[in-house]
Amino acid sequence: MARQNKSQYALLGMLTLGAMSGYDIKKLFDNSLRNFWGESFGQIYPILRRLVHEGLATVQKQPENIRTARKVYAITPAGRAALRAWLQEPVEAPTFRLELLLKLFFGPEMPVETSRRHVQRYRDEAARTLEVYEALEARLRGERPGHAGLAYWLMTLDYGRTYASGVVDWCERTLRRLDAQAGAGVLAEADAPSGAPSGSGRS
Amino acid sequence: MARQNKSQYALLGMLTLGAMSGYDIKKLFDNSLRNFWGESFGQIYPILRRLVHEGLATVQKQPENIRTARKVYAITPAGRAALRAWLQEPVEAPTFRLELLLKLFFGPEMPVETSRRHVQRYRDEAARTLEVYEALEARLRGERPGHAGLAYWLMTLDYGRTYASGVVDWCERTLRRLDAQAGAGVLAEADAPSGAPSGSGRS
DNA sequence: CCACTCATGTAAAAAGTTACATGATTCG
DNA sequence: CGAATCATGTAACTTTTTACATGAGTGG
């Protein structure tokens, strides 16, 4: 029970990398973790406020006084303890929602060419992501040599690379399969407008 | 704008496989699509009601009269048209939230052994999933030979297999890296209880 | 001066899960 | 007859996104 809020731990974790503002945290998510985690401002600011309220973080206005000033947050020992307690807990199994696969699963409802287009685009995106990872890895190794976290960051990056490269392979295999599908004379039927398919009876 | 609700299309898609009840739909998600899509009853029943209201599906009570009777839903031509329109639309890029990677990213905050345990468990689960897929593929090929959807179902299954097998590989590589990490003298510090770590100063 | 990035925040809506309530049927 | 499965549904809650509002500073 008490469905734990993972976002708060994500934020606490970010603060272990150094004191920073909500804006900085957002940038970090977008630049470094976007392949496996993200948070929106609508989550970040309210949670930061709560963390301070609960004594897990502290704030300090940078220019002081000004209403829209930059606020720098830092993790407290209590915050670090809370984070560590969560890090100890077993990882919950992720639930995926892959729209591409959902659509592909209903392939008989569309022309093969449409499935093909979706898969092709997915492939291109994964290939681009792969390039971004190469660049990111080079940057990481260069910028922060010897940083305690480096080895771990590279592990998560390796995950992204493995994943993206697996996607590219699968897409290429699937494109070939779709071509075979199109060649097998399914095209004519798939192009049909909306009639009911042959076998709809329940067992 | 008008953030489209994907769940409704998932349900409509299920109904293209044949008329069925909300309970049947749930079972189908749990048995066949669980690696890339899922829906809870809290979503399914209200959405089915709405689909009927909008003319995208029809209902029929099976024993009739009884209040808790089985209700069988069928897709209408309008429903099929709505589904197909959605199938045509470009696939939105998925956002992942992989708790394992988030925790691993904060590796310096925990003993190497904890990271190791998480990764090990992840590996075991992926390996088990892989076995389930093999069985599922055999069952599919046997049960429904010649079904129009079979080729597509096998493609989604192939995705799951590729993914799970990539995860297993990554986990094994990562376990070796973690061992190297532990050997590099990080263990002593990492095993410490919870006080502030050596270099906690903000830049 | 205009566009862009920096920077904080709120409100409303959407999406989704969980827990609960109810009751029939089937199998051992 | 008790447990499991079949079967439907609602209400409360949590989580998350989106859109909006505001305003300072910087570079062309």
Partner A, chain B 74-103, Cβ-Cβ below 8 Å:
77, 80-81, 83-84, 87-88, 90-103
Q: Of residues B154 and A66, which shows the higher confidence score? A: B154
Is A51 (CB) below 7 Å from strand C?
Answer: no
Distance CA B22, CA B51 (A): 12
Residue the block writes with tokens 């690696």: B35
pTM value is 0.88
CB atoms closer than 10 angstroms to residue A135: 9
DSSP state of B57: E
Q: What would the pLDDT profile of A34-69 be if each residue is shown by its tens digit? A: 999 999 999 999 999 999 999 999 999 987 667 678
Q: What would the pLDDT profile of A166-193 be if each residue is shown by its tens digit? A: 999 999 999 999 999 888 765 545 444 4
Name the nearest CA neighbour of A195 among B81, B111, B131: B81
DSSP state of A184: I
| Six token digits for residue B194 | 């919870």
DSSP state of A75: E
Mean pLDDT, chain B, rounded, equals: 88
Work out the end-to-end distance of chain A between its first and last CA atoms, rounded to an integer number of angstroms.
Answer: 39
pLDDT (average), residues B125-149: 87
* SS3 at position A95: coil
Give distance CA B31 / C1' D2 (Å): 28
What is the DSSP secondary-structure string of B162-191? HHHHHHHHHHHHHHHHHHHHIIIIIHHHHT
- Residue in B87, B94, B102 nearest the CB of A37: B102
Residue the block writes with tokens 């029970």: A1
Is A166 (CB) below 7 Å from strand D?
Answer: no
Task: Name the most confidently modeled range: A15-19, A62-66, B189-193.
Answer: A15-19
Give distance CA A109 / C1' D20 (Å): 39
